[in-house]
A and B are shown apart, each in its own frame.
Chain A
């Protein structure tokens, strides 16, 4: 079977090569299947399934006049993403295109994978001025399924648009998951991404946001539950170009049973981003001695009048906290489970969709029983 070797999740400013943290290499199968997404829309959002060919040197759609471009001149093909340019080697993929007009709307996109499926999907989201769109994306398969679920999601948020992207990954134990996100924000636009990475064997996850317009903001929160020798490989990048832009990135997770995790978090204050602020915070709970945890918080600065903070809290469950919880009747294993689930519940509380939250709860009940 043919494989493609990809270099993904590159750190924007490399550190020492000997640390082997600058990027990751992953061998992926050529996508052979199509995963037909189930899409449900509510409010002022519509679906445009039209395939748009990518022609080198031309506009995204290949047309001569931008005015006639079916994606309103937005060059989604060239939009940078967290996992990087090599993701383009996956081909065309199954594409869906959402357009949100002014007003509130929601879209639920469910990608259900069969055993042995190797799929690549693309989702493009065009949020028009003043639109307020929430997109729920769920990746799901049976617990024992294996395969590949590669998904690229690109977001163009116009002035004053608000996009909330909720990605919940509940794949089988042997899945390779590539989750690649790119966003470009106009003035005063806001992009919020909430991610739960719970299933799969190898998870490569990149999110890159270009805070192009003045006053735009980006909020990313991810929670994961690494176990059973999972590899969780993440690359979050916030590029501040506009004045008074703001980003806030948090990663919260648990590692046990030989899991490996790397988190790269970069806040890049570009020249001209005066008054910008950025904050990144990571907490990792280590529940066994055989796990590997790597973290690279990175703040790059080409502008003087900016404020960037980063912090990390990595360690085992505090003995005093364990005693406190046990004094309320929780057994040691229940207390640990509860703390682990708390990381996930922190994100669940921000998901305004009961069905999605219940899906996660049912999945977690299964994990605890494993």
Chain B
């Protein structure tokens, strides 16, 4: 059995003085896809931010081990360099820095070597074609003036280019129309199948999961994981909602 890529034990997280997450345990193996679902306000995004190391979220107890290393106190950039990635629910606008320049510099930071412009452009164009993104977006300031759909595509583009070991997708499907969900889902599938990347998909919508292989599903409610199961749980939630689990 493969060793855990991510091992979360008894994680407790506060935002300011309020405890949001209580005793979270979560194990993800390399290449596995986990789905995290739950009602609004359950703490799903908080878990994503805490795993990535957002300083606004204070870890008051427990540990996060990634690739055998305790990263509980590691800075955000070091977690990213270690192979973690967070796709934002609301990607931020970065005025003055083009998408291509941002990605190229990020890749150079990650790999520690200068990347030839030609090689980078080729790789970028392939990824943009997969996501049906107009090449012009590469020269536009990152996310600045992008539509909601283009921002989400730009997140998946970064995922494909940076190629992390674990990607946390925080409601990547929110605000997308049916066609855009299909395209984004295709990008995630490429990451899953061709890059053997592990995924933690935070979602309300089962549409994005239709084309994806899912290994495990978790329900988070009121800051605790109340149910762990296989992919069949997605279907069950889709049909009956969360009510039955909350009552238990």
Contact surface of A with B, Cβ cutoff 8 Å: 252, 318-321, 323-332, 334, 338-339, 342-343, 345-346
Is there an interface contact between A323 and B105, defined as CB atoms closer than 8 Å?
A: no
Interface-facing stretch out of B25-33, B60-68, B73-81, B192-200: B73-81
Is there an interface contact between B95 and A342, defined as CB atoms closer than 8 Å?
A: yes
What is the CB-to-nearest-CB distance from A270 to chain B, in angstroms, rounded to a whole number? 33
A330 contact from B54, B77, B86, B88, Cβ within 8 A: B77
Is there an interface contact between A326 and B80, defined as CB atoms closer than 8 Å?
A: yes
Within 8 A of A (CB), among B45-97: 52, 54-56, 75-77, 79-81, 85-86, 88, 91-92, 94-97
Is there an interface contact between A328 and B92, defined as CB atoms closer than 8 Å?
A: no
| A329, B109: Cα distance in complex, Å | 7
**B172: A residues at CB distance < 8 A:** none
Contact flag A330-B106 (CB < 8 Å), given A323-B54, A323-B55, A324-B88: yes
**A327: B residues at CB distance < 8 A:** 52, 76-77, 79-80, 85-86, 88
Is there an interface contact between B97 and A338, defined as CB atoms closer than 8 Å?
A: yes
Is there an interface contact between B55 and A325, defined as CB atoms closer than 8 Å?
A: no
What is the CB-to-nearest-CB distance from A120 to chain B, in angstroms, rounded to a whole number? 34
What is the CB-to-nearest-CB distance from A341 to chain B, in angstroms, rounded to a whole number? 8
Q: Which residue of B lies closest to A340 (CB)?
A: B96
A328 contact from B55, B75, B162, Cβ within 8 A: B162
Does B137 reach chain A (CB closer than 8 Å)?
no
Is there an interface contact between B96 and A328, defined as CB atoms closer than 8 Å?
A: no
Contact flag A324-B92 (CB < 8 Å), given A332-B77, A338-B97, A345-B97: yes
Is there an interface contact between A339 and B96, defined as CB atoms closer than 8 Å?
A: yes
Q: Considering the complex of A and B, which 9 residue pairs feature the smallest CB-CB distances, nearest first?
A: A342-B96, A326-B76, A329-B80, A324-B92, A326-B77, A328-B106, A342-B97, A329-B109, A346-B96
Contact surface of B with A, Cβ cutoff 8 Å: 52, 54-56, 75-77, 79-81, 85-86, 88, 91-92, 94-97, 101-102, 105-106, 109-110, 158, 162
Q: Which residue of A lies closest to B143 (CB)?
A: A324
A334 contact from B52, B88, B97, B109, Cβ within 8 A: B109
Is there an interface contact between A330 and B55, defined as CB atoms closer than 8 Å?
A: no
* 21 examples of A-B residue contacts, CB within 8 angstroms: A323-B55, A323-B76, A327-B80, A327-B85, A327-B88, A328-B162, A329-B110, A329-B162, A330-B77, A330-B105, A330-B106, A331-B75, A331-B77, A334-B77, A339-B94, A339-B97, A342-B94, A342-B95, A342-B97, A345-B96, A345-B97
| A344, B190: Cα distance in complex, Å | 36
**A339: B residues at CB distance < 8 A:** 94, 96-97
Q: Which residue of B lies closest to A342 (CB)?
A: B96
| Further pairs besides A321-B94, A324-B94, A334-B109: 9, Cβ < 8 Å | A252-B96, A321-B92, A327-B76, A327-B79, A328-B106, A332-B77, A342-B95, A342-B97, A343-B96
| A334, B95: Cα distance in complex, Å | 16
Q: Which residue of A lies closest to B52 (CB)?
A: A327
Is there an interface contact between A328 and B91, defined as CB atoms closer than 8 Å?
A: no
Is there an interface contact between B158 and A328, defined as CB atoms closer than 8 Å?
A: yes
B106 contact from A318, A329, A332, Cβ within 8 A: A329
**A342: B residues at CB distance < 8 A:** 94-97
Query: Which among B85, B109, B110 has the highest number of chain A CB atoms within 10 Å?
Result: B109
Is there an interface contact between B94 and A325, defined as CB atoms closer than 8 Å?
A: yes
Is there an interface contact between B77 and A320, defined as CB atoms closer than 8 Å?
A: no
**B102: A residues at CB distance < 8 A:** 328
**B92: A residues at CB distance < 8 A:** 318, 320-321, 324
**B56: A residues at CB distance < 8 A:** 319, 323
Contact flag A329-B91 (CB < 8 Å), given A323-B54, A338-B105: no
Query: Which among A320, A327, A342, A345 has the highest number of chain B CB atoms within 10 Å?
Result: A327
| A238, B175: Cα distance in complex, Å | 43
| A332, B75: Cα distance in complex, Å | 9
| A6, B79: Cα distance in complex, Å | 55
**A346: B residues at CB distance < 8 A:** 95-96
What is the CB-to-nearest-CB distance from A343 to chain B, in angstroms, rounded to a whole number? 6
| A338, B142: Cα distance in complex, Å | 13
What is the CB-to-nearest-CB distance from B74 to chain A, in angstroms, rounded to a whole number? 11
| A323, B94: Cα distance in complex, Å | 12
Is there an interface contact between A329 and B52, defined as CB atoms closer than 8 Å?
A: no
Query: Which among B75, B96, B162 has the highest number of chain A CB atoms within 10 Å?
Result: B96
What is the CB-to-nearest-CB distance from A344 to chain B, in angstroms, rounded to a whole number? 9
**A326: B residues at CB distance < 8 A:** 75-77, 80
What is the CB-to-nearest-CB distance from A212 to chain B, in angstroms, rounded to a whole number? 34
**B158: A residues at CB distance < 8 A:** 328
| A334, B78: Cα distance in complex, Å | 13
**A319: B residues at CB distance < 8 A:** 55-56
**A318: B residues at CB distance < 8 A:** 92
**B94: A residues at CB distance < 8 A:** 321, 324-325, 339, 342
What is the CB-to-nearest-CB distance from A342 to chain B, in angstroms, rounded to a whole number? 3
What is the CB-to-nearest-CB distance from B81 to chain A, in angstroms, rounded to a whole number? 5
**B106: A residues at CB distance < 8 A:** 328-330
| A351, B161: Cα distance in complex, Å | 29
What is the CB-to-nearest-CB distance from A194 to chain B, in angstroms, rounded to a whole number? 15
What is the CB-to-nearest-CB distance from A281 to chain B, in angstroms, rounded to a whole number? 12
